[in-house]
Amino acid sequence: MVADVYETILLELSEVFKIPPLKPDPNHSCLIKLKNGCEIQIEPDAAMENLIIGANIAAVPPGGYRANIFREALKFNGLPPPKKGIFAWSKKADQLVLFSILPLKNLTGTKVAELIVPFTAIAMKWREAILAGHVPQVEVVTSGGKAPRGGGLFGL
């Protein structure tokens, strides 16, 4: 059963991070509070086919600053694979969020842990920048190894 796979992944993840056993709440969600202050939420999607990993980044005040944050988030979302997350705006939480979706089929706690490490680093980098009032810069690199010089899609 898929619920068993999800719970097995959580237990394996606990072992990898050497933390007490992780268990889903009644809504099948699991919140992991990391030592660096980042909180990662893990849960299966409604169809029980994918695992969703998410982190609230920070509230971003409306205006030009928010537009700059969104521009950089879109640049990040447009980076080539492998993806380390996708930025989105949560109307419900009124803040920028980072998430990733992984197919549950053949997924293990070790594979999830390998994603969580860079995922958390990105979430913390963006959170710290936003809380300091800075705009994180995304370095877009082309296949030739150099950053494109203007012009791209919509000037990004």
What's the pTM?
A: 0.84
- What CATH topology corresponds to 2-155? Yope Regulator; Chain: A, (3.30.1460)
Burial 86-96 (b: 16+ CB within 10 A, else e): ebeeeeeeeeb
**pLDDT (0 to 100) of residue 142:** 54
For the stretch 16-43, pLDDT in tens is 989 899 999 999 999 998 888 889 999 9
Domain boundaries, the chain: 2-155
Q: Are 10 and 30 in contact (CB under 8 A)?
A: yes
Tell me the one-letter amino acid at 33: K
- E-assigned strand segments in the chain: 30-33, 39-44, 50-58, 86-90, 95-103
> What is the Cα–Cα distance from 2 to 8, expressed in whole angstroms?
10
> What is the Cα–Cα distance from 12 to 73, expressed in whole angstroms?
31
